[in-house]
Structure 1
Amino acid sequence: MKVLITEYLRINLDTEKWECRRCGHVHGDARDNYKRGLLVYDRDPREIHKPLLDTKMYSRTYSPDPTWCRILEYYCSSCGTLVEAEYLPPGHPPLYDIELDIDALKLQWKDREEVVEEVRGPDLAAEKVKHGRALHAQAHGHDHGHHGHKH
């Protein structure tokens, strides 16, 4: 049984392993920090948050100081999907942000049906646009080339 945990991570309860939801690659022991099995890119924050002031004229430029802040990006080593990103002081170990009770999770899921992908509701913004276009076409007596299709 595989349980969806985040947008890019799931736990295989049979093997007790973290897995990539995009490619199925095994990241490591589900009783440990999933980040141990990922590739890490230690980013200089100035690459992401460009200085807003001239760096030759000002020491504070509204860009994070790399001696105080780093951005760690965690990628699947198989498909390259960006799984997580975090801002940390230089030298700080990766955060242990997801620690699950695997035994309790197994009990919760023993009689449940596996969820392959998250359940998604309707895209209300897209529905509103479609409805608005249909109303516009009706009000102006034209159907924008839908030739008899009802909205």
Structure 2
Amino acid sequence: MKVLMTEYLRLDLDAEQWECRVCDHSIGSATKGYKEGLLVYNRDPREIHPPIIDPEQYRFTFSPDPEWVRILEYYCPHCGTMVETEYAIPGHPPLHDMEPSLPAMREQWARRQEIKDTVVGPAVSSDSDGHKH
């Protein structure tokens, strides 16, 4: 049974492996953090948030200081899809954001059908039901 975890990440409960949803590449053991199996790009935050005012004239430019914040981008090592991004403190380990209980998930999903594609809700338009603001 495979369970969709995020837009680009899937969990294979039988193999206990994280997988890329784009290319089906096995990223690593589900008993560890998925980020351990991904490529990491430590971005300079000024590339993402460039200074608003001249950094030659001003110390504070409304751009993040790389001594205080770093942006980590995580990519599938097989297809290059960006799986996750996080803002982190330099010198601190990456955020451990998911630790699924595999036995509990197996029990929960034993009573369900596997979902292979993202479920998308109905299209909503501002005048679909005649309601106006």
Q: Mapping of 1:70-89 within 5 angstroms?
A: 70-89=70-89
Query: TM-score, normalization: structure 2?
Result: 0.92
Match of 2:20 in 1: 20
AA at the equivalent of 1:36: E
The residue aligned with 2:69 is 69
For the residues of structure 1 that align with 2:86 and 2:96, how far apart are their CA atoms? 11
Question: After alignment, is 59-68 or 106-115 more displaced?
Answer: 106-115
Q: Mean alpha-carbon deviation: is it higher for 40-49 or for 85-94?
A: 85-94
How many angstroms apart in 1 are the aligned matches of 2:56 and 2:118? 49
**In the alignment, does 2:36 pair up with 1:36?**
yes
Q: 1:124, 1:78 → 2: CA distance?
A: 36
2:70 maps to amino acid: R
1:110 is displaced (CA, Å) by 1.3
Cα distance in 2 between the residues matched to 1:14 and 1:77: 22
**CA displacement, residues 16-51 of structure 1 (integer Å, 9 cap, x when unaligned):** 000001110011011110000000000000000000
Amino acid at match of 2:78: S
**Counterpart Cα distance in 1 of 2:59 and 2:73:** 26
> Where does residue 53 of structure 1 map in the other structure?
53
Classify the secondary structure of the residue corresponding to 2:11.
Answer: strand
TM-score, normalised to structure 1, is: 0.81
Q: Distance in 2 between matches of 1:67 and 1:110?
A: 47
**Superposed displacement of residue 111, structure 1:** 2.6
- The Cα RMSD (Å) is 1.5
Q: Which has the higher helix share?
A: 1
Aligned residues: 129
Structure 1 segments (4+ residues) deviating >4 Å: none
Provide the rounded CA distance (Å) in 2 between the counterparts of 1:47 and 1:119: 34
| Identical amino acids, percent of aligned pairs | 57
Any unmatched runs of 5+ in structure 2? 129-133
Q: What secondary structure, in the 3-state scheme, does the structure 1 residue paired with 2:55 have? A: coil
**Structure 2 CA distance for partners of 1:78 and 1:128, relative to 1, 3 Å:** farther
Q: Deviations over 1:39-91 (max 9, x none)?
A: 00000000000000101100000000001110000001111111110011112
1:128 Cα deviation from its structure 2 partner:
5.2
Structure number, greater radius of gyration:
1
**Partners of 2:33 and 2:117 in 1: how far apart?**
23
